[in-house]
């Protein structure tokens, strides 16, 4: 398959690039500063795009590649891919569910603990020598707190199971009630927030879920509530979040994603009851290799005219 042109949108991992190089004619888009000229020169030979959460397949790119057959996404969320345009042109789209579920769920629990027990702040307290002047302040307990989850899919369910191990009652909001779930369902996000201590965002990003966390939801959660986001940055209205944290209207936040990555609102950097991560939910060696292998498996299946492993479109 070496003659098949594959356009990789941005750096992902050395392992992934090496494995793609073995099988395809790999174009690293970031190495070509003159993007329009590059696309004109290679448009007919590029038959696949490898995208991710930061760099996808927008309409203008799809239109510039007349030979494009498949967009293979390195991750679950496909909000950076114009699915409508792909359907219109008969371009297949794949993603990588399941292989990243455990890591993201683990990180969500880590963020809850780090935020409520102020682990990062306490670490800084010790490093700065302040412990010699007195004990660190008391924090909030996690075990037994009510956890509300927005999006009870694979990742949301995995988070719920982990939180149950901490004795936490679970409730959730999703597009519809899950018939196989015993967790309490709220058809309205504000009602969910009003009835939980910790609100975890684990849904996909679309027009309905963009800024699903707004001032009304934050007010319902209250000054002792905590928001955890391992979904997409645009799930939260960041201006409203910052305002609530600064004014003490929210108890804390653990954030792995931001609306304009890698930019982070400057005010968040100085707030102690916020834990900030750099979109590392899938960031383990094991999972990144598994994701890469699944992307490659989908590409190989497509070009060998076999059923796709994890099709979206």
pLDDT at 198: 98
Domain that holds residue 80: 5-96+285-303
Q: Report d(CA 291, CA 298) in Å as an integer.
A: 11
Per run of 10 residues, the mean pLDDT along the chain (length 313 residues) is: 90 96 97 95 96 95 97 96 97 97 98 98 98 98 98 98 98 96 97 98 96 98 98 97 97 97 96 96 97 98 98 95
| CB-count burial class (<10 Å; 0-12, 13-18, 19+) for 182 | exposed
241 and 114, same domain (yes or no): yes
Grouping H, G, I as helix, E, B as strand and the rest as coil, residue 278 is: coil
CATH code of the domain containing 47: 3.40.50.720
83 and 23, same domain (yes or no): yes
- Residue appearing with tokens 């003159």: 34
42 catalytic, yes or no? no
62 and 105, same domain (yes or no): no
238 catalytic, yes or no? no
Question: How many domains, in total, are found in the chain?
Answer: 2
| Active-site position among 60, 88, 261, 286 | 261
236 and 298, same domain (yes or no): no
pLDDT at 236: 98
Secondary structure percentages of the chain, helix, strand, coil, to 5: 40, 15, 45
- Is 309 a member of any domain? no
232 catalytic, yes or no? yes
135 and 188, same domain (yes or no): yes
- Is 82 a member of any domain? yes
List residues bridging with 36 in a β-sheet: none
| Active-site position among 92, 162, 197, 232 | 232
| Active-site position among 42, 69, 279, 289 | 279
pLDDT at 2: 66
pLDDT at 1: 67
């Amino acid at each position: 398959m070496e003659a098949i042109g594959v356009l990789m949108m941005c750096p992902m991992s050395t392992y992934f690039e090496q494995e793609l190089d073995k099988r395809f004619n790999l174009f690293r888009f970031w190495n070509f500063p003159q993007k329009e000229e590059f696309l004109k020169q290679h448009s007919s030979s590029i038959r696949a795009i490898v995208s991710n959460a930061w760099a996808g397949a927008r309409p203008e790119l799809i239109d510039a590649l007349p030979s494009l057959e498949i967009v293979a996404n390195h991750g679950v969320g496909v909000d950076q891919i114009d699915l409508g345009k792909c359907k219109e042109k008969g371009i297949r789209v794949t993603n990588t569910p399941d292989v990243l579920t455990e890591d993201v769920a683990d990180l969500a629990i880590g963020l809850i603990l780090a935020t409520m027990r102020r682990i990062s702040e306490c670490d800084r307290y010790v490093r700065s020598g302040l412990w010699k002047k007195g004990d660190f302040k008391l924090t909030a307990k996690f075990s037994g707190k009510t956890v509300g989850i927005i999006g009870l899919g694979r990742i949301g369910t995995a988070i719920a199971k982990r939180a149950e191990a901490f004795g936490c009652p679970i409730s959730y909001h999703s597009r519809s009630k899950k018939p196989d779930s015993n967790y309490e369902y709220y058809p309205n996000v504000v009602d969910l927030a009003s009835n939980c201590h910790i609100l975890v965002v684990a849904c996909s990003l679309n027009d309905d879920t963009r800024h699903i966390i707004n001032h009304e939801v934050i007010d319902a959660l209250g000054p002792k509530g905590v928001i955890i986001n391992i979904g997409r940055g645009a799930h939260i209205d960041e201006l409203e979040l910052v305002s609530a944290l600064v004014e003490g209207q929210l108890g804390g936040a653990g954030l792995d994603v931001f609306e304009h990555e890698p930019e982070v609102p400057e005010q968040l950097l100085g707030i102690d009851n916020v834990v900030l991560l750099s979109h590392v939910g899938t960031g383990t060696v094991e999972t990144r290799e598994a994701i890469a292998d699944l992307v490659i498996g989908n590409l190989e299946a497509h070009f060998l005219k076999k059923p796709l492993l994890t099709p979206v479109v």
